[in-house]
């Protein structure tokens, strides 16, 4: 009986260690809550920042596997925050998805030019967001039939 409990605890720890960390950067509390529910349900661990400056602190603290970055932020905006992150060696290859209301073609080009890996316009289809997150983290889709 003790071995089963030990194995169960070890399985839970292994599962938690294997969960990918995602940093969600958005000044909207509603958007942060939506992202938390969506991403945790999909099996990811989520940390947050409400502004660009905090995103830099949180990135250094948690070393996320992927960052979802709003571009319109107080303090340091998302464009500038991405630029700062890309200058740090530990974040040069971290996938950063711009999740933003800036949806004009030149906005997407600018997001990619400052270092974003992908661009998703708000409002977004949650299936599209989850597919892009999965693609960048694992190279496979977690949402089938869409």
Tens digit of each residue's pLDDT (9 = 90 or more) over 47-93? 999 999 999 999 999 999 999 999 999 889 999 999 999 999 999 99
Domain of residue 89, CATH code: 3.40.50.2300
Q: Is 8 domain-assigned?
A: no
How much is the pLDDT for 139?
Answer: 60
Q: Is 7 domain-assigned?
A: no
DSSP state of 134: H
CA atoms within 13 A on the CB side of 94: 26
How much is the pLDDT for 146?
Answer: 34
What is the residue-wise DSSP string for 36-76? HHHHHHTT-EEEEESSHHHHHHHHHHH--SEEEE-SS-SSS
Tens digit of each residue's pLDDT (9 = 90 or more) over 86-127? 999 999 999 999 999 988 888 899 999 999 999 999 999 999
How much is the pLDDT for 54?
Answer: 97
Range of the domain at 74: 20-137
How much is the pLDDT for 105?
Answer: 85
Question: Coil, helix or strand for 101?
Answer: coil
How much is the pLDDT for 75?
Answer: 87
Tens digit of each residue's pLDDT (9 = 90 or more) over 11-60? 443 344 479 999 999 999 999 999 999 999 999 999 999 999 999 999 99
Domains of the chain: total: 1
Distance CA 114, CA 111 (A): 5
Distance CA 142, CA 59 (A): 25
Nearest-CA neighbor of 82 among 104, 62, 61, 66? Answer: 66
Distance CA 97, CA 16 (A): 23
């Amino acid at each position: 009986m003790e071995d089963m409990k030990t194995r169960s605890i070890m399985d839970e720890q292994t599962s938690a260690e294997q969960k990918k960390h995602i940093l969600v950067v958005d000044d909207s509390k509603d958007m942060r809550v939506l992202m938390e529910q969506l991403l945790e349900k999909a099996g990811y661990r989520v940390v947050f920042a409400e502004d660009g400056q905090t995103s830099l602190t949180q990135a250094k603290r948690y070393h996320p596997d992927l960052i979802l970055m709003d571009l319109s932020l107080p303090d340091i905006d998302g464009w500038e925050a991405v630029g700062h992150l890309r200058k740090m060696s530990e974040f040069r290859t971290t996938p950063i998805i711009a999740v933003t209301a800036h949806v004009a073609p030149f906005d997407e080009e600018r997001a990619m030019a400052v270092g974003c890996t992908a661009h998703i316009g708000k409002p977004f289809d949650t299936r599209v967001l989850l597919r892009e997150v999965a693609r960048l983290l694992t190279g496979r889709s977690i949402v089938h039939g869409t």
